[in-house]
Amino acid sequence: MKNAASGQIFKISLVIIAVLLLVGVAWKVLRPTSVSTARSEKREEKLARSAAISEKTSATLAKFENVFFLPEADPGYTSRPRPSSRKLPVANGTRRIGPPRAITTKSEGEFISPRWSPDGLELMFSKPGYNGLYAKGVEGGALREITDSNHVGFKSKWNPDGTISAIGNDGREQKLNPDGTPVDAPSPLDDSNYVGAFTQDDKVYYRSAPGEPARVISEGDDRFYGGVVSPDGRYIAYNGLYTGLYIAPLDGSHPPVYLGEGHSPSWLPDGSGIVYNVSIDDGHQLLASDLYLATVDGSAVSNLTQSPDQIEINPSVSPDGQWVAYEVDGVIYVAPLY
């Protein structure tokens, strides 16, 4: 009886051992498949995560692809994405500006778009939105209000006869006396006595002498504005709202020179080039801006300012060519031009 029980136990032990062996074999056979499946699942998860990151990166880059460039036109114009054909300047020149000096203070208000008087002794500027016209001496003195009218400061300038040309956001020009009272004048296109450049109906015109018909300077599929004639009367700088900055000979001797991005051109007094700003915004506010100087043929371009922490815009060259006035965050500065 005892031997029979021992034999039964022995048989059960053999069965248990056999079962354990079968389980071990099955584990060895199935384990690689399980690990492979787990690794495959992890790989798919990693690929999915990478795809999500890639999609997020693409979306971020897309935002930068749609960076807008501020036009120097009226606020009614809609900012548009920078076309791929529009080029950024490549600085290959050596011109620079020296340490700046503030002309206005924050306590006096915020001001934009400085313009030099013919004698180089005063600067005229506006408040944000090109509202009003104000003047202040370059060497100091009290702030003087010329007019508090809204939207009169766009590209305003002093004329040699002492009057002030105030150009509104719609491109229409009106003349003001030094005390701010208006000087009645018809449209430059209708006034055959008006000599110089002007903008009307998205085109830049130029009349070289009284009585002559005004001729169109800008050509192409764009909305052109802001014609500024060089002091020697040989060239004109103007903007295309969607294409950028151009310099063209007034005698039509060769096609316009395309400078690419750029706004607010101001001529050097000898007509050898212009100072302007290249500004980038996101459709709501300025992100960056620097001042540049380009020769009249576009062969040399100098980055005058290299300060990523400041946004310099609306430059204006002094009558003697030795200074540049510009604005930074509502304050008017002047700096020597080297």
Instruction: Decide if pLDDT at 16 tops 60.
Output: yes
Enter the pTM of the model: 0.67
Confidence of residue 115 (pLDDT cuts 50, 70, 90): very high
Give the strand order in the sheet containing 235-240: 224-229, 235-240, 244-249, 257-260
Helix or strand (DSSP H, E) at 19? helix 2-65
Average pLDDT score over residue span 283-297: 91
| Dist. CA 213–CA 202, nearest whole Å | 18
Residue found under tokens 């016209």: 133
Confidence of residue 118 (pLDDT cuts 50, 70, 90): confident
pLDDT higher at 69 or 33: 33
Contact between 264 and 282 under an 8 Å Cβ cutoff? The reply is: no
Tell me the pLDDT tens digit for each residue of 47-104. Answer: 444 444 334 333 333 333 333 333 333 333 333 344 444 677 888 899 999 999 999 9
pLDDT higher at 182 or 258: 258
DSSP states along 30-77:
HHHHHHHHHHHHHHHHHHHHHHHHHHHHHHHHHHHHT-B---SS-TTS
Tell me the pLDDT tens digit for each residue of 299-323. Answer: 999 999 988 889 999 999 999 999 9
Residue found under tokens 């020149």: 93
Listed range (22-31, 114-123, 244-253) with the worst mean pLDDT: 22-31
Listed range (20-24, 38-42, 123-127, 243-247) with the worst mean pLDDT: 38-42
Token readout for 18 is 């056999």
| Dist. CA 196–CA 233, nearest whole Å | 9
| Dist. CA 93–CA 87, nearest whole Å | 17
| Dist. CA 96–CA 148, nearest whole Å | 35
